[in-house]
Amino acid sequence: MTPTITAVHAREILDSGGRPTVEVDLVLSDETVARASVPSGASTGRHESLELRDHDPSRFSGNGVLSALANIRDTITPAVLGRDPFDQTGIDGLLIELDGTDDRSRLGANAMLAVSVAASRAAAASNRTALREQLGGGSMLPVPMINIISGGLHAEGGLAFQDFLIIPVGASSFRQALEWCSGVRTATREILELNGLTTLKAAEGGFAPPLADAKAALDLLMAATARAGRSPGDEIAFAIDVAATHFCDGAGYRLSADSGVLSAGALVAQLVELVDQYPVVSIEDGLAEDDWGGWGELTRLLGDRIQVLGDDLFTTNSRRLERGISSGVANAVLVKMNQIGTLTETLDVLKQADDNFYAPVVSARSGETCDSFIADLAVGTNAGQIKIGSLAQSERLAKYNQLLRIEEELGPDAAFAGREALAPRRRPTPTEQ
C-alpha cells in the first residue's frame, strides 16, 4: 500500500544569521519521518516570492515566522493529510492553489517550501531511495563556486561588489576541487595576516578585508592562487557576484557614498575590463534586476566569452527566465528554491534552463541552515554548478560534505562537471541534432 501523509509539524528555528526560519517534520503512514528547513536571503530581489515574517517588534526585531507556522498548521496541513508523498507535482500544485497569489504572499514561500521539500525527502526515505535518485537520478558532481572575499550586503569591508569567488575548473573530481579551493582559501588568510588585514568572516564565510576596489580583490585572489601552487585560469578561475541592484538608484550605479554615478554602459565597461585583465569566467547580477537594456549590453559584449549569470534578474521564476531567453539576455540562471516556493517549480526552471542552453547554478542563501537538500538537488538534476558559500561554517560545510558522501557512494559512476558546466554552452549544429 502506498504510504500517505499523516502529520505535519512546523517549528521556528534559527538560520546562520541568527534569524528565525521555518522547519517542518512530515510523517507518513508507514512511520517515515522527514525533516526540512528553509533558508533566507540578505541580498534579495524584489521579484522574489515573499518570505513571510511576523513584523512583531517584540520578537526577533520583527523577523519571527509564527505566522508562517500558523499557515502550515491551519491551512496547509489539513489539505495535505492523506496525500501521496510521491505525487510531488500534485502536492506542490495544491500548495500553489492554497496560496493563490503570484508572490506567495498569503502562505509565505518559507511555509510552502518547507512542506514541499519535506514531502520529497519523505518519499525518498519511504522508498529507501537516495534523495538524489528521487530528484532525477543524476550522477554528476557539480563544480563549486566558492566564496573567498565578500563585500556588498554580505560584509562591511567597503567593497561594492558582493562576492569574489573561485571555481576549480581544472579539477578532475569534486574531492580534488575542494582540496584545491581549501588551499587557496588558506593562502588568502595567510596573505591577509602578513599584511595586517582582518581575517574576520562575512555572512557566507568569506573574508571581508578593507580593499580599495574590485581589482584589489582580484589581485588578492591571483596572489592566493599562486601561493597555493595552483595556476590562475587553467586550474582556478574567478567569479564575481556584483549584486548591482543594491548600489543602483534612479540616477544610475554608485559604487561608494562619495563616488560619482555610473551609467549602465560605464559599469559594463568596468566589468569588461576586469574580464580582460583577470581569469574571470562568471559575472553574476552585473546590472540591476530591472535594467534589461544594461543586461542586453553586458550579454552582447561578454556572453560569448564568459558566464553571464542572472539571480535578482530571474529569481528562479520561469516567466522572467523566458523573457531573458526570448530577448537574448544572460546565458545562465542562479537557482534558489526559496525564491519561488516549491520544489516542482524549481525543477521546472532547471529543465527550462537546460532546454535553452542556459547554465543553471544551484545556490544556497546567506541565511542558511544545515539542511543539505541542495547538494542532492544539484547532483540529481545534473545541474553542473553549485554556489554554497565559503569552506567555513557548518551550514556551508553540511552541503559540501554531503557532496563528498554522494561522490563516494557513486564510486566509478560519479562524474565531475568541471569547466564544461559553465556558460556559454555550445548549441548543437543541425547535423548533430
Active site residues: 204, 336
Q: What are phi and psi of 308, to 5 degrees?
A: -110, 105
> What nine digits make up the cell of 17?
544569521
Return the closest-CA partner of residue 386 out of 351, 418, 412, 344: 418
Residue that has been written with the C-alpha cell 505525487 in this structure: 87
The rounded distance, in Å, linking the Cα atoms of 347 and 215 is 37
Question: Dmax of the chain from CA atoms?
Answer: 67
Measure Cα distances from 114 to 8, 214, 350, 418 in Å.
10, 37, 19, 31
Residue type, 358: Y
Beta bridge partners of 176: none
The rounded distance, in Å, linking the Cα atoms of 105 and 152 is 27
The rounded distance, in Å, linking the Cα atoms of 192 and 209 is 8
> What nine digits make up the cell of 177?
576541487
The rounded distance, in Å, linking the Cα atoms of 325 and 332 is 10
Residues near 216 by beta carbon (within 8 Å), at least 6 away in sequence: none
Residue type, 230: R
Query: What sections of 1-100 are H helices per DSSP?
Result: 66-71, 77-80, 88-99
Give yes or no for a contact between 403 and 211, defined as CB atoms under 8 angstroms apart.
no
Kindly state the helix (H) or strand (E) to which residue 84 belongs, with its residue range.
none
